[in-house]
Structure 1
Amino acid sequence: MGASNFDQATISGKNAAFQQAVDALRKRFRFDFVSMGITAFPGAPLTWLYSAGETSNRHRRISLAPGHGIGGIVLKTGKPMLFTDIDSEMDPREYSSYPIVFAEDLRSFCALPLKRADHVVAVLLCAFRIVDPSHAKTFRALIADELRGVFCGLEVVSEGFMGLGETGDRSETTLVDISGDTSFAGVRDTDETGAPKLLRGDLARAIGAQEEERRRISRELHDGVAQELLTVTFTLQRLTDHVDAEGADILEEARGGINGVLDELHNISVMLRPSSLDHLGFVPALRSQALLLEKTYGSAIRFEGQLSLPRFDRALETQAYRMCQEAMTNACKYSGSDVVTVSVETAGNWLHISIVDEGCGFDVAHPAIKGTGCGLLGMQERANQVGATLSVESNEHGTRVTLVTPMRSSEEGDTR
């Protein structure tokens, strides 16, 4: 392990000191929220380990790859960030790209890289949940008077502040309304709304083509790019006995960076088309997706019930998985709920699935267009393709998405 790394022994020995420093900082400046995120080695994800003023433990479950989220961006670029009014400086549709903002309802923050031996090994985040002109002065005092270039023995980077527009991190894309009517009621009964029948046919073909393309790209990432990177790590390993101590540190850093890329490729592959869906079935694939969402957005996802059949019709597995993936992702990204419950059960030849959160809810009749994915329109079209009934109920107490569909075993269905 290189000298720039936070190994487990270091973390254990510093636990109390780090937490006390975070607590003192919040008390001294009356911040609403202060957190210190650390990374075990270069290229590894950043986790918010030490916090004060948190509203829940949701943020502690977030694991940010370098370049993703506020912590990941600061970690990768080595530059600090300062926002005194998020609502005016950031597009609200992009809040979900920065899960700590969403998880803790932050409105004003300063994020500072913390270095050791010229490597960013941690990030300090100090924030308020309201907007006030005095916050800019508070952040300046924090940097100039309190920290003075050092926090917990680590070098504080306080020059070259950047805005979100400079990060190049744009994982969210605005969805274009192609129907002219995004109401869920309209999707459920296209005849009454007058939506063109051509639209549904086009959407069905687009969904089918998208699924095949997802499978192809996922397979290429796993069998091609990932395998090539593994070969590079083996080559680096062979150099270990031929370099000095400084060279060993550089090799360790390189391996850490490659491992970080491999983790990111795995996450992308799971989002595109998890191999577990093809090889193990619906529930294992859904659990794999849930683990990824927990690390990304911090909401805990709990599973209830079980299936009477380990596998069922391949087309139904795919469409049910995509609908659940969309519902779980939306709940984690937009609801603000700390817990999302997924219930899966079979009754006779019927499959019953529900995804429930206790978040802010939304207007089902006129849902806002957010993020990527198939949305309500695509979910309903997937349900139509497998003869399922999809319903969405939402109010200020939370949202419930329910899917009820006839099912067949994999031996009876199409296994292509």
Structure 2
Amino acid sequence: MSLFWRVFLINAAVLTAATALVLLGPVSVSTRFVLTEALILGGGLVAMLVANALLLRVGLAPLQRLTRAMGTIDLLKPGPRPTVAGHAGIADLIATFNAMLDRLESERATSNARALSAQEDERRRIAQELHDEVGQTLTAVLLELRRVSDHAPPQLRDDLRQVREITRESLDEIRRIARRLRPGVLEELGLLAALRSLFGEVSHHNGLTLRRDLATDLPALDDAAELVIYRVAQEGLTNVARHAGASRVDFSLQPVGGGVQLRIRDNGRGTGDAPEGAGIRGMRERALLVGARLSVGPADGGGTLVQLDVPGRPGRAA
């Protein structure tokens, strides 16, 4: 039965019952009604309207819940589905909406997986080119500068030494960029070693104290989960160093409930009412790929707390 016929029959039942009461009840209406009869009919009309409103409110309550869910749903923040309730077309509508959400989340996850995979491949390619071409070219420039400096007049050696230092710093920066683009240590030595290398880069940020708590008994994680943890840690620490205005950041990676929990907490200015940027949305998309749950919000006592809960999966240990 469609929603229209359901509402129509409810109203028809109320009006029919009211008509029967008027016809069969002890009260009657004269040709020229008196005040008492008008009050009786008015009371009956009010009773019908109240009964009709109550029945419609109960019958359409599932639609109101569905409307609220449709207004607040976010595919990057999966939550519980609206409960399939109600009769006839209402229950079918809610079930169809839930099926649509499942399909959209599945399609988004597949699309994000392809996009992020292509992104990682592009990062590897750029890192390889930086290392093999730009890095080797700068190394050759350093060697040539050293050779020229050894044969240069004394008045030019200081200038050449300064140029060598600038070139060496540029080479170090190129190597740091290549490591951030392609964490080779993650593939070769595992998650914990990659995080320690990341901490070394963050420690160069002036005025930022890093407190870390890394468990050594992490459960087995597959390569995708380790990459997600590393990228979320990288993005979270980069945001703290560049935007938070913090003096301290606490980093924790612990086993929780068969999985792994990552927590990055700083004492900076917090996120406030600012909308989420591309970095945080990228972290959410990565988390969804491995069934993880990411939360970003204010920390107790001020600052920001980034928490990533990754379920345990079979694979090699960290």
- If the length of structure 2 is used for normalisation, what is the TM-score? 0.61
1:278 Cα deviation (Å)?
1.9
SS of the aligned residue for 1:235 comes to: helix
- Aligned residue for 1:391? 295
Instruction: List aligned pairs for 1:16-95, cutoff 5 A.
Output: none
Structure 2: distance between partners of 1:226 and 1:312: 33
1:253 Cα deviation (Å)?
1.8
SS of the aligned residue for 1:188 comes to: coil
SS of the aligned residue for 1:342 comes to: strand
1:258 Cα deviation (Å)?
0.9
Q: Is the 8 A contact 2:76 2:288 kept in 1?
A: no
Structure 2: distance between partners of 1:206 and 1:226: 28
Gap runs ≥5 in structure 2: 1-71, 83-96
- Aligned residue for 1:280? 189
- Aligned residue for 1:189? 78
- Give the one of 251, 271, 281 matched to 1:377: 281
Q: Is the 8 A contact 2:271 2:297 kept in 1?
A: no
SS of the aligned residue for 1:248 comes to: helix
- Give the one of 132, 153, 157 matched to 1:223: 132
Structure 2: distance between partners of 1:241 and 1:269: 31
* Cα pair distance change 1:335/1:250, threshold 3 Å: closer
The answer to whether structure 1 residue 368 and structure 2 residue 275 are counterparts is: yes
1:412 Cα deviation (Å)?
8.0
SS of the aligned residue for 2:212 comes to: strand
- Aligned residue for 1:259? 168
The answer to whether structure 1 residue 357 and structure 2 residue 249 are counterparts is: no
User: Over residues 192-251 of structure 1, what are the superposed CA-to-partner deviations in whole Å (9 max), with x where a residue is unaligned?
Assistant: 899855555433322111111111211221232112211221222223332221222232
Identity, % of aligned pairs? 35
Structure 2: distance between partners of 1:311 and 1:256: 44
Structure number with the bigger relative contact order (C-alpha 8 A, sep ≥ 6) is 1
Q: Is the 8 A contact 1:298 1:332 kept in 2?
A: no
Q: Is the 8 A contact 1:339 1:358 kept in 2?
A: yes
* Cα pair distance change 1:332/1:255, threshold 3 Å: same
The answer to whether structure 1 residue 295 and structure 2 residue 295 are counterparts is: no
SS of the aligned residue for 2:204 comes to: helix
* Cα pair distance change 1:184/1:380, threshold 3 Å: farther
Structure 2: distance between partners of 1:230 and 1:407: 44
User: Over residues 138-158 of structure 1, what are the superposed CA-to-partner deviations in whole Å (9 max), with x where a residue is unaligned?
Assistant: xxxxxxxxxxxxxxxxxxxxx
Structure of higher CA gyration radius: 2
Query: Which is helix-richer, 1 or 2?
Result: 2
SS of the aligned residue for 2:270 comes to: coil
* Cα pair distance change 1:206/1:298, threshold 3 Å: farther
Structure 1: distance between partners of 2:73 and 2:155: 60
Structure 1: distance between partners of 2:247 and 2:73: 25
1:262 Cα deviation (Å)?
0.6
* Cα pair distance change 1:403/1:239, threshold 3 Å: same
Amino acid at match of 1:343: S
**Across the two proteins, how many residue pairs are aligned to each other?**
226
- Give the one of 308, 311, 315 matched to 1:403: 308
Structure 1: distance between partners of 2:269 and 2:73: 18
- Aligned residue for 1:240? 149
Structure 1: distance between partners of 2:139 and 2:253: 37
Structure 2: distance between partners of 1:412 and 1:351: 12
Gap runs ≥5 in structure 1: 1-182
Q: Is the 8 A contact 2:209 2:248 kept in 1?
A: yes
Structure 1: distance between partners of 2:160 and 2:120: 39
- Give the one of 206, 227, 230 matched to 1:321: 230
Structure 2: distance between partners of 1:337 and 1:253: 34
Structure 1: distance between partners of 2:286 and 2:150: 55
- Give the one of 244, 248, 255 matched to 1:346: 255
SS of the aligned residue for 2:305 comes to: strand
Structure 2: distance between partners of 1:349 and 1:369: 30
Amino acid at match of 1:189: P
Query: Which is strand-richer, 1 or 2?
Result: 1
1:300 Cα deviation (Å)?
2.1
Q: Is the 8 A contact 1:332 1:340 kept in 2?
A: no
Structure 2: distance between partners of 1:408 and 1:223: 36
